Amino acid sequence: MTGIDFRLLRCQVGMGAVLDLLGFVATQRRGRQVRGPCPLHGPHTPQSRSFSAHLEKNLYRCFHCGSSGNQLDLWAAATRQPLYQAAVALCERLHHPVPHLPRRTTRAAGKSAPAS
């Protein structure tokens, strides 16, 4: 299993895209911040605003259930998957290539780099 460049993936996939996939409907919008019912546990009232997400900073927090994090954390929590699997599934849903980390090359044991 190759590693995923989570930092690059967070740069490429924004909070807005994740919220759209989760069917989030904001009940309040102020600039780049949206509030509404939590996509993790649902609304408690028709106009629930316990969930807050900042679309520019890619951060969220639910003041009711206490969940918080970035867009990948939200997707993993909503789909109930470990982060690695959730990242792969998110890329598949968005038809986005998975940004893998470059493979590490290892030197043969006991050999040192040539002196210059």
Show me where the domains of the chain are located: 14-80
**Superfamily name with CATH number, domain 14-80:** Zinc finger, CHC2-typedomain (3.90.580.10)
How does the average pLDDT of the chain come out, rounded? 89
Is 18 exposed, middle or buried, given 0-12, 13-18 or 19+ CB atoms closer than 10 A? Answer: buried
Work out the pLDDT band at 18, boundaries 50, 70, 90: very high
Residue 42's Cα: distance from chain center in Å?
19
Side chain identity at residue 98, one-letter code? V
Could you tell me the CA-to-CA distances from 43 to 1, 11, 31, 77, 110 in Å, in that order?
38, 29, 22, 16, 61
Instruction: Check residue 47 and give its pLDDT.
Output: 73
Q: Is the pLDDT of residue 9 over 90?
A: yes
At 71-110, the pLDDT tens digits run 999 999 999 999 999 999 999 999 999 999 887 766 655 5
Work out the pLDDT band at 27, boundaries 50, 70, 90: very high
Side chain identity at residue 11, one-letter code? C
Q: Report DSSP letters for 14-52, one per residue.
A: -HHHHHHHTT---SEEETTEEEESBTTTB-SSTT---EE
Report d(CA 114, CA 93) in Å as an integer. Answer: 47
Q: Is the pLDDT of residue 21 over 60?
A: yes
At 31-43, the pLDDT tens digits run 999 999 999 987 7
